[in-house]
Structure 1
Amino acid sequence: MILVTAATAPVGRSIVEQLVSIGTPARALTRDPQQADLPAVAEIVAGDMKDPATLPAAVRDVDGIFVLAMGPGVPELIEAAKNAGVKRVVFQSTAEIDDNAEQQPNDIAAFHHGIEQAIIDSGMQWTFLRLDINSADALHWAFDVPGQLAAGDVVRGPYADAAGSPIHPADLAGIAVAALTQDGHSEQRYHVTGPHSLTHREQIELIGKTHGRELRYEEIDPATARAEIAPHAPADLLFATWETHVNKPAPVTDTIERVTGRAPRSMREWAEAHPA
């Protein structure tokens, strides 16, 4: 049995779907099981990372867990998993971590590094999926691209020529599934990116072309953009990353194919996964 946290988010949902498709029992942790809309063969349990009392039951009789850190509760989950005899943990971390630094370069790196260390200290087998910030669809959640596309054909944001390497959620999920169900991934820190470098402008135009719309990216100056960024987005990190990659390709790794044994999904498939 594999426990999947954040099971109704895109990556978690795909992990559940891929697990059941290969006959691996999956348990999905969600705050509202009635609204989960997950495969019927998956076991859906009510739980909340903000309520540690719900976690021991979630990890009971579980062999492995997928952990996405979105807030409090992760240390309690790791402790509960260790006490329950869970053997394997796959953690979606960040490529911002510097393993050679005495102090991490930013708060995002420090937060995830602390969780990584707690997992290592637990004695469970671990695999860390260090997702590159350029591949995390940061533009889309920081500036609510789906909301902008629902309102019209123009997306407003900073740095039109800043490059990212967006990853399809199912590809990231595929790496997690491999690490959860196959041997050979213990104590691996995988640097994860999408397969191609695309600028913000190119990403929006590709989404439009895929969905039969003429979409346009309207660049706004950084000061204005900072005032409009989503309240929970790490503005300093995102703006520094985007500025660094203006007219410079984003990092691209071969981790998807190397770990899963299949080619990454195309940029068209990535675009199709975005509502337009």
Structure 2
Amino acid sequence: MPGDINGKPIPRSILIFGATGHIGGPLAGFLHREAPQIQLRLASSKPEGVEDLRRDFPYAEAVHADYFDLPSLESAVRGMEGVFVITTNGTDERPAMTNLVAALKEADTALHVLRLVGLQPEANQRRIPQSIRDVGFLLPTQHPIAKQILDESDLPVTYLNIGATFMDNFFLMKEGLRRERKLIWHNRLIPFIDPRDISEVAGRLFLSDNHRHIGQFHTLNNGQDLMRFSEVAELMSEVFDEKITHDGSREGFFQAYAQIGPLRSALWEFFEYEKENEVVWARNDFVERMLGRKPLTVREWLQEHQHLLLT
């Protein structure tokens, strides 16, 4: 039947924003291994980062592209059929995505755009506390803006929603683990995912000829781990073969992360907001289906990185 036929051309060229990061970099590596015939163009938002990209990815073209500089975006997207879009926390998404949409429409070559977002699925934005709205740069307030702009653009976008916390965020908690064998973090309930698995999912979506992914909002987690951080501390104790305690107090959090200054309050308010909506989190098998294997578990990640976390 005609409706059963896949109809998405596989991009012959792909632009990757954030290629120096923990998702964009592995994505570039995956695409080079799996489809070396694809022309890769890697973007750095800082001119000085272009040389780093050339050094680390000699098989790819490296360019400067700033979401807030339309000419640089127009140059970066020119001729690109696939585009991987990721922004850093703190990005003002309205001008950033408005510029990107304008550049993509001007180029008129995009066959598939992947946009990474981090949202509680189907969250009512009106329920976000005013204290979080006032901060302005946190994901719950900015990523809905990005999605609205991209939705209205009618570009061929697939959203990869990170319905999880990155496993490598444990590195942020390293000092407490190293000094006191203590995991100091809000006792949030959250699924988990390894950023390397996100990269592979993105790569496999680019290489898929299934047009049905375009327009979809896929929520990603490893489908196995949904835990509070007190439970993670128990798992660490088992994996590391020594007692790891947990401190989920506000006082402990503020003391341990004094170096981030006012951001502490914003993060804590965000975690408290999440706590009031934690029933929305659910494990799913989308990542497993895309990878054709089980994603990495928290236990496996901790076994791999034990030395780096404790010394």
TM-score range normalised by the length of the shorter chain: 0.7 to 0.9
1:6-25 alignment, distance < 5 Å: 6-23=18-35, 24-25=38-39
Higher helix share: 2
1:157-206 residue CA offsets vs partner (Å, 9 max, x unmatched)? 332xx433210111111221222221321111111112322332443565
Question: Residue 3 of structure 2 aligns with which residue?
Answer: none
Question: Residue 155 of structure 1 aligns with which residue?
Answer: 183
Q: Distance in 2 between matches of 1:145 and 1:7?
A: 24
**Unpaired segments ≥5 residues, structure 2:** 1-12, 134-138
Q: How many residues align?
A: 266
Percentage of matched positions with identical amino acids: 21
Q: Is residue 54 of structure 1 aligned with residue 80 of structure 2?
A: no
The 1:146–1:42 alpha-carbon spacing in structure 2 relative to 1, beyond 3 Å, is farther
Q: Is the 8 A contact 1:149 1:155 kept in 2?
A: yes
Deviation of 1:67 (Å): 1.0
The 1:75–1:208 alpha-carbon spacing in structure 2 relative to 1, beyond 3 Å, is farther
Question: Residue 83 of structure 2 aligns with which residue?
Answer: 65
Structure 2 length-normalised TM: 0.72
The 1:46–1:154 alpha-carbon spacing in structure 2 relative to 1, beyond 3 Å, is same
Question: Residue 164 of structure 1 aligns with which residue?
Answer: 190
Q: Distance in 1 between matches of 2:70 and 2:236?
A: 40
1:1-276 alignment, distance < 5 Å: 1-23=13-35, 24-30=38-44, 31=46, 32-36=49-53, 38-70=56-88, 71-72=91-92, 73-85=96-108, 86-98=110-122, 101=124, 103-106=125-128, 107=133, 108-132=139-163, 134-137=164-167, 140=170, 144-149=172-177, 153-159=181-187, 162-184=188-210, 185-195=213-223, 196-204=225-233, 206=235, 214=242, 216-226=244-254, 228=257, 230=260, 231-232=262-263, 234-242=267-275, 251-271=282-302, 272=304, 275-276=308-309
Larger radius of gyration: 2
**Unpaired segments ≥5 residues, structure 1:** none
Q: RMSD over aligned Cα, in angstroms? A: 3.1
Q: Which residue identity is paired with 2:220?
A: V
Deviation of 1:128 (Å): 0.7
Q: Distance in 1 between matches of 2:144 and 2:292?
A: 28
Q: Distance in 2 between matches of 1:217 and 1:243?
A: 24
- Higher mean C-alpha displacement, 86-95 vs 34-43: 34-43
The 1:16–1:219 alpha-carbon spacing in structure 2 relative to 1, beyond 3 Å, is same
